[in-house]
Chains A and B, each alone.
Chain A
Amino acid sequence: MNKIILIIQREFLTRVRKRTFIIGTILFPVLYIGLIFGTGYIANKTKQNLKIALIDHSGLFNTERVNSVNGNDTISTFKLIPVTQEQQIMAAYDSSGFDGYIVIPASFTWRTGTDSLRVNSKKSFGNSALDPVEKKINLVWNKVKHDSLGIDLSKEAILDKSVSLKLNNEKDKTADAGVATIIGYVCGFLMYFILLLYGSQVMMGVTEEKTSRIAEVVVSSVKPFQLMIGKIVGIGMVALTQFLIWIACIFIIYNVGKTSGNNSSSASFAMVGQIQHVFTSVNVPLVIGCFIFYLLAGFFFYSSLYAAIGSAINEDMREAQSLSFPITMLIIFSIALMTPAIANPSSSIAVWASIIPFSSPIVMMARIPFGVPNTVPLWQLGLSMGLLVGGFMCTTWFAARIYRTGILMYGKKPSWKEMIKWAFRK
């Protein structure tokens, strides 16, 4: 027992003291947030500003009406072209700065309009570019209709009024599905990254010990099982430490923001408000508690398998890739199951994926923010946790038996079949 603690200590300290750990701890959230906002920013940036020439034969689209809708957004701009210049524009619209032109036929009436209009262009556009144009054309037609029906601005305002729908969860008054979805995604993806990154660290660590032959020296003092468990627990502690540092940072930012931002309307105040909203709509201590449980149990489940693979391979990292592929696939498959689980956290796929051990760490963590025990009944949470503990005990047992043979075996890369044979040999 004492020796396992020594091994855990070494694995933990050598990793935490490395500069890469500190850089990773700071950089990961920055990159993670950067990724989310960056993609949003890029999506916004790449929205096209379409300049469309309108050639109106019906006489309904006058300059006043067209200009009034142009102010609605900046995604597209209409310009009414006199019919006399039709031929000119049709021949050279792109050289005069237009992305395309629309001809409104003379048959377009205020009552029936026309079946469809055509945007003529030399480029192709996605729906996200064309939808706003379509909306604007219809807005102009609406104005035509209103004018013809005698609806003035005040009546128009009445017509525009609509009602929005919000879910009132009778059991959980403060639930907010939007916040739960975001927290669910964050938890699921974070779990995914931690399992993959630290799982492969275990694998590389084991391979390093094997190829540098230190394993032989150490195994003459401790059992192979102790060496393996020591490594897994040590690296698991590193992952946990990193996670706790992030949580601590969020709390510090929250508290500092609360005291300094209370009397101002600064950005920090808005952020505090956001975090406060998360606190009221999601049971944060429960989510953090469960996350720590699933982080450790899921990590033990996968990393023991990674350790078994690490013990089987030699210097060649390509061997590692081909052998670890099935395990990595399980983690990626879990992420694929997470999306439908968040979209409908009570569906049977969500329930089962969050109970079966291999996918439960990611899928259950995506469901928990939606509320325990309403969305996730206690029996499901209990069963999922119990099965995961049983699951990691099985994988650890299985891995330990491969490990003790693999760590001292040099030469050819074994196949999965051979490794399974090692596991079930007496």
Chain B
Amino acid sequence: MNILEIQNLKKYFATQKAVDDISMNIEQGSIFGLLGPNGAGKTTLIRMITGIFYPDSGNILLKGKKFDAENDAKFIGYMPEERGLYKKMKIGEQALYLARLKGMSKSHAQEKIKEWFKRLEMENWWNKKVEDLSKGMGQKLQFVITVLHEPSLIILDEPFSGLDPVNANLIKDEIFRLAQNGTTIIFSTHRMEQVEEICNHIVLVNKGKKILDGTVDEVKQDFKENLFGIQLENVPEGIKSNAFDVTGVQNKNIIVKINEGYKPNDVLNHFISNGSNIVSFREMLPSLNDIFIKLVEGTPAARQFEKIPD
């Protein structure tokens, strides 16, 4: 089931087509990676999904119904890239206030805050002020505030920036736990290794348009270059075969590119038949980082201003 469907969404600003006809579906319970270079239109897209901006045209369907910013706010939890909290307000009161703005009752909110503070070892924070917190601590608090009202869709914009590995793992585990319980998570980032680790499904946007959409495995398969790595006990001299080309040798590891019409078995057969002892053989899929760079490369690092006719 799709929790969120986006259909032909457009948002033009005075000097930019921030989001230019993007469609996508997000399945319930998935961890969805929204990727793209700076200024690609990710934030604008997210702001439309969270009801901060109205789209110029197109539809957003939440749980199959047209998205209504005012009433659907309680289903969505949004953690923006630039963290925002009242600096002078006590942490407990602040969490309570923001949860109640999402429509929670006071007692329910209080109960949930205590539960989360306990889980993330923040129990003695209640009466501290935000200005007393370190950046990482603020990050944890912001995460709790985002998930407190048990939203069915959580949007996290760069959630790990500023967190040490221990706390990053803590948050990562919480994200997995929430997804297991059926919460859908949209995860916006530039950090590809995190995406590979966490996300099931990814969408890449650039210059306001969607340029890639699929599961992490599908995408990798689509972009694979038929590269395989073989480790041999002894690397023979002058490897030559019609089935493949050697693209790199390092110690006892050989990287081969299989030619059109041949299969991995042909590679193995070649080495078995010439008497080499094979230690390991594996497919080498491109990393998301490589795919990202390949797709985005060549477009200017920052988007240029353009004239939008009214």
Contacts and interface: CB of A to CB of B under 8 A. Distances in A.
Interface stretch (B3-11, B47-55, B202-210, B247-255): B47-55
A213 B84 CA distance: 4
A213 B69 CA distance: 20
B85 A3 contact: no
B85 A214 contact: yes
Contacts of B79: 217
Contact of A221 (B82, B84, B101): B101
Contacts, number: 56
Given A222-B73, A408-B52, A213 B98 contact: no
Q: Which of B47, B53, B84, B87 has the most CB of A within 10 A?
A: B84
B84 A220 contact: no
A10 interface: yes
B82 A216 contact: yes
Interface in B150-190: none
Contacts of A216: 52, 78, 80, 82, 84
B95 to A, nearest CB: 12
A222 B101 CA distance: 7
Interface string B32-49: 000000000000000100
Nearest to A217: B84
A7 B98 CA distance: 10
Interface residues of B, number: 27
B73 A220 contact: yes
Contacts of B101: 3, 6-7, 218, 221-222
A214 B82 CA distance: 9
A329 B164 CA distance: 51
Contacts of B52: 216, 219-220, 408
A47 interface: no
B85 A220 contact: no
A215 B50 contact: no
A425 to B, nearest CB: 9
A14 B79 CA distance: 24
Given A6-B101, A213-B80, A220 B50 contact: yes
Contacts of A213: 80, 82-84
Contacts of A127: none
Interface string B64-89: 00000110010010111011111111
A134 to B, nearest CB: 62
A223 interface: yes
Contact of A220 (B51, B82, B97, B103): B51
A218 B50 contact: no
A6 B97 contact: yes
Contacts of A3: 101, 103
A212 interface: yes
Nearest to B155: A220
Interface in A215-235: 215-223
Given A14-B89, A212-B84, A217 B145 contact: yes
Contact of B78 (A6, A14, A217): A217
11 contacts: A3-B101, A6-B100, A7-B101, A14-B89, A212-B86, A216-B82, A217-B85, A220-B78, A222-B101, A408-B52, A408-B53
Interface of B: 47, 50-53, 69-70, 73, 76, 78-80, 82-89, 97-98, 100-103, 145
